[in-house]
Amino acid sequence: MMIKAIASNYVAFHEGIHPGTIIYSVKTGKILDTVCGNVLTEQEIFNRGWDLDSYEIVSPYLIMPGLVDSHVHLNEPGRTEWEGFETGTKAAVAGGVTTVIDMPLNAIPPTTTIENFKLKLDAAEGQLWCDVGFWGGLVPHNLDHLKPLIEAGVRGFKGFLIDSGVDEFPAIDKRYIQQALHILQGEKTMIMFHAELQLPEAGHEHTVVDHHGEGIDEFDDCNMLSTVKSLSSVEPKYGQVSELIQHHEEYPMDSIITPLEAAEYEANDKSLANVDPCDYKSFLLSRPDHFETDAISLIVDCLRNSVLKDGIERSPFVHIVHLASMEALPILKHAKEIGLPITAETCFHYLSLAAENIPESKTFYKCCPPIRSEKNRKALWNALRQGLLTSVVSDHSPCTPELKNLAKGDFFSAWGGIASVGLGIPLLYTNGASIAEIVKWCCENTSKQVGLDHKKGFLRTGYDADFAIFDMNTYQMVTNEKVYYKNKLTAYDGSKLKGLVRNTYVRGKMVFAVEGMGHSEHPLGQTILERRST
């Protein structure tokens, strides 16, 4: 059994950052022994009963657990021109991510049935540079498929309360949520929601217009914007014009008057034609905070009623993905205070970017929910540090440059999604997160979320030897040319970040080195199909 050791004066154990030594097996891929507080000599390691094949001391670099990114869209099969298992996992390991959990949508077919899941597994074979687990999907008429998907190894399920933007993954309603919560009583799983909701209620009236025009130009955009008042699609297809909502008073940057706000104040629909679809502030207005608060209120109500009916002991956990609005935090806090089994994540982009700084026409900043104000950004950081939000993920959602509509710079017709898998450690570190916080939010808590905290997310004996070597003092410049995504496009192009992942190990084998080999010659990742037990 090939036994190796690695050590540093800086090792991110659960107990904190300390000198440490990690002994691991390349054959089994497991950590055999850890020593917190001391960089051992080879003789001291031998005295502990280990006959080493190699030993590396990487000081002054940090050894940390590999990240578990629980929110990644790899888009294969079916939309491999957007991304794919090979390019997506190569980008992941280049940033110290050793496990990703693939989202059920944007692949064709989506992961909503056993048959579809088998097609995805076939597509993944021989293409993984990190370990990959899978979420199943919640869509109308697939309730009978949920338990079989659990048995097949999906980590949980995700659904949308608003149009997902892809026809093969329609939204679910309140009745479906109630049924899913009941059907999954007693199961070791998680139900997750894209929490945006457009309510057809008093004060939230809207007119839905289904627009599938091709060859749309600026005149078409403005004409459509003059006749509709609410956004339909969470991630609009290319060529669609999203709709607008009237509630300008909830706009976080209320000191700035946009043409859309002026039109609303004047109560003149014709003036909506003055809206500039290239102005990010206009797009932000179309996705108000109450889309999130309305959705989360509905989810909490369904969960509370389910717990009252069936008991909390058997209730599946509920999770809010990519929470973006600080207005939703009090709802989440109250739900936790009354004991409901609910958690929430946010994303690297909501913590590192602010609406005030997004230039006109730069559609690569578009995502849904949208990047909100600087005040909102700071509130999300506070919620993380208070434990109200528990994890940070990439929500890596790439597409082709054409779908970003870069030539026109039209936020309303561009695809919504930001490519960022593998950039998380330096993004958080640059924005003031400590190493201990990054490990907690992106390794430990995400591994718990996906039911892998018995083998991933910690540097502990018996766990997978997944770790990243991080240079805490080097600065790097992110450029589109240097990223490993299939489509060289990211919102962080030109950003100077502190910290650089130098090496990444998956189950004891090096899969990436910033100097020398680059990526390993062969893919060393595996699919994660064990049925979750927590």
Give the CATH number of the domain where residue 417 resides: 3.20.20.140
Q: Is the distance from CB of 21 to CB of 38 less than 8 angstroms?
A: yes
Last residue of a domain, one of 60, 84, 107: 60
Instruction: Indicate whether 313 and 440 sit together in one domain.
Output: yes
In a domain, 16, yes or no: yes
**Residue located via tokens 């909490």:** 300
Residue 23 domain boundaries: 3-60
Which of 35, 60, 85 lies at the terminal end of a domain, its last residue? 60
Q: Same domain, yes or no, for 27 and 141? A: no
The residue ranges of the chain whose pLDDT is under 50 are 202-272
Our CA dihedral for 373, 375, 376, 380, rounded to 10 degrees, sits at 140
Q: Does 134 map to a domain?
A: yes
Identity of the residue numbered 155:
R
Whether residue 168 sits in one domain with residue 34: no
Q: Over the stretch 54-88, which tens digit does the pLDDT of each residue have?
A: 999 999 999 999 999 999 999 999 999 999 999 99
Residue 213 lies in a domain: no
pLDDT in tens, 336-395: 999 999 999 999 999 999 999 999 999 999 999 999 999 999 999 999 999 999 999 999
Does residue 176 fall inside a structural domain? yes
Last residue of a domain, one of 60, 86, 107: 60
Fill in the amino acid letter for 160. F
Q: Within the chain, what is the greatest distance between any pair of CA atoms?
A: 82
**For residue 102, what are its two tokens?**
């693939």
The answer as to whether 261 is a domain residue is: no
pLDDT per residue over 131-150, tens digit each?
999 999 999 999 999 999 99
Q: Are both 53 and 102 inside the same structural domain? A: no
In a domain, 192, yes or no: yes
Residues 56 and 167 in one domain: no
507 and 479 in a common domain? yes
Cβ proximity of 285 and 291 under 8 Å: no
In a domain, 534, yes or no: no
- Per the structure, the count of domains in the chain is 2
Residue 239 near residue 216, CB atoms below 8 Å:
yes
Q: Are residues 359 and 500 in the same domain?
A: yes
- Give the burial class of 346: count Cβ atoms within 10 A of its Cβ; 0-12 exposed, 13-18 middle, 19 or more buried: buried
Same domain, 55 and 157: no
DSSP H or E stretch at residue 55: strand 54-57
CA distance 491 to 427: 12
Q: With H, G, I as helix, E, B as strand and everything else as coil, classify residue 143.
A: helix
Q: With the C-alpha atoms ordered 271, 276, 280, 286, is the resulting torsion angle positive or negative?
A: positive
Whether 52 and 88 share a structural domain: no
Do the domain assignments include residue 264? no
Residues 359 and 499 in one domain: yes
Q: Which contacts (CB < 8 Å, 24+ apart) does range 89-92 have?
A: 89/127, 89/128, 89/129, 89/130, 89/132, 89/523, 89/525, 90/129, 90/484, 90/512, 90/519, 91/396, 91/421, 91/422, 91/483, 91/484, 91/485, 92/129, 92/130, 92/421, 92/422
Does residue 95 share a domain with residue 17?
Answer: no
CB count within 10 Å of CB 454 equals 17
Q: Facing residues of 476 across strands?
A: 497
Residues 449, 329: one domain? yes
Query: Where does 433-521 have alpha helices with state H?
Result: 435-439, 445-449
At residue 131's C-alpha, the angle toward residues 130 and 137, to 5°, is 120
Estimate the share of the chain in helix, then strand, then coil, as percent rounded to the nearest 5.
30, 20, 50
Between helix 289-310 and helix 329-337 the angle, nearest 10°, is 10
Query: What single string gives the DSSP state of each residue in 144-211?
Result: GGHHHHHHHT---EEEESSB-SSTTS----HHHHHHHHHHTTT-S-EEEEE------STT--------
